[in-house]
Amino acid sequence: MEHTIDLKNFSLRTDLITELTTEKQVGISSQCQEEEGIKITEVEVLKEGEEQIGKKQGFYTTIEFSDVTDYHLKEKVKEVFSKYLKKLLEKTGILQDASCLVIGLGNEKSSPDALGPATIENILVTNHLFQYGTPEEGFRPVAAIKSNVTGVTGIETNQFILGIVKEIKPDFLIVIDALASQSLDRLNKTIQLSNTGIHPGSGVGNKRKEISFQTIGIPVIAIGVPTVVDALTIVSDTIKYLYRHYAFHKQYDKKPSSKLTMSSQINYLKENVEILQEDKKNLLGIIGTLSEEERKQLLFEVLTPIGYNLIVTPKEFDFELEHLADILGNGINRALHKKVNHL
């Protein structure tokens, strides 16, 4: 008798809509394009699609790219990000002279959580100039603040933001946060925009109250980059690669005549292929009989109580942080101020 695994619900740590929309779903429309190696996916979730995908009604834009430390690619990503942010502002009905408060969420003392505050350093602030007269044409009022985590301030993030919004009365918010991903591949290589608000700290396991039109009373544009994964994500990804490796070699071993170059050996791991149920079972026994979700749940069940389901970040992140903060900060400046030249 085989041991049966008891499966309860558990929450997958992902903030990325692209990790949820694998197939055509009712109430969800999406389109995809590519610009010079950068992949852009625009998703609209309608009211009737909300429950299915577990994401709120609204627009979601995902920008995927490769190496942010390459100067030319970085400039290109900045341009694409700025363009799609502007498009999202328009779809949300935000006018060209609407005043904006940009908020960077997170703890700047911890690199993987520092993207929000680091972006704020690059925001061109003009709000105070509008109080003393009319600045040059081509600028709108923009203010920018950092919002540290509750453990450091003693204040709930949503309360902090609500207090400032009530006093400053901006027309809309842009909120920047580090996110969690369900895939190591996407870390620091994806920007997600949406007009549906944000759950601060959701990327790192703390559920705080939502920041959205519903709770704050003005449109909330959320911008996020996945910077962390948890240990079970790494294990789960690896099992996927093991399946592909096994399936490929099983087939290849049957016809060893076909010459394989090194690069083709790598490519088979990157391709999304169908794995036979039987192969899965052969390779991984009981574990192989579980669906991906069941497997993740089992791992969650086993690793979490012993504190092993650590949230990790790639060693190189410190070097990528400033580039990402440059893309987001200066990309926001271009989208908000017509007059900003490309510095």
> Could you say which of 2, 97, 137, 271 contacts a copy of itself (CB under 8 A)?
2
Site for a copy of itself in 158-177 (CB under 8 A): 159-160, 162-168
The SS3 call for residue 340 is coil
Contacts of 7 by beta carbon, 8 Å cutoff, 6+ apart: 294, 297, 298
Query: With binding defined as CB under 8 A, does residue 281 bind a copy of itself?
Result: yes
Locus of tokens 């085989």: 2
Give least dist CB 35 to a copy of itself, A.
Answer: 23
Give least dist CB 129 to a copy of itself, A.
Answer: 8
Query: With binding defined as CB under 8 A, does residue 204 bind a copy of itself?
Result: yes
Query: Alpha-carbon distance 129 to 270, whole Å?
Result: 51
Query: With binding defined as CB under 8 A, does residue 25 bind a copy of itself?
Result: no
Q: Give the DSSP per-residue string, 26-49.
A: TTEEEEEEEETTEEEEEEEE-GGG
Q: Are 140 and 96 in contact (CB under 8 A)?
A: yes
Site for a copy of itself in 299-328 (CB under 8 A): 299, 302-303, 305-306, 308, 310-316, 318-319
> Could you say which of 31, 33, 131, 134 contacts a copy of itself (CB under 8 A)?
131
Helix (H) or strand (E) holding 162: helix 157-168
Give least dist CB 256 to a copy of itself, A.
Answer: 12
Strand order across the 100-105 sheet: 28-35, 38-45, 58-64, 190-194, 220-230, 172-180, 100-105, 142-147
Nearer to a copy of itself, 218 or 234 (CB): 234
> Could you say which of 155, 218, 275, 340 contacts a copy of itself (CB under 8 A)?
155
Nearer to a copy of itself, 61 or 309 (CB): 309
Q: How far apart are the first and last CA of the chain?
A: 67
Query: Pattern 223-242, binding to a copy of itself, x per CB under 8 A?
Result: -----x--xx-xx-xx--xx
Query: Alpha-carbon distance 309 to 62, whole Å?
Result: 27
Give least dist CB 61 to a copy of itself, A.
Answer: 26
Nearer to a copy of itself, 96 or 251 (CB): 251
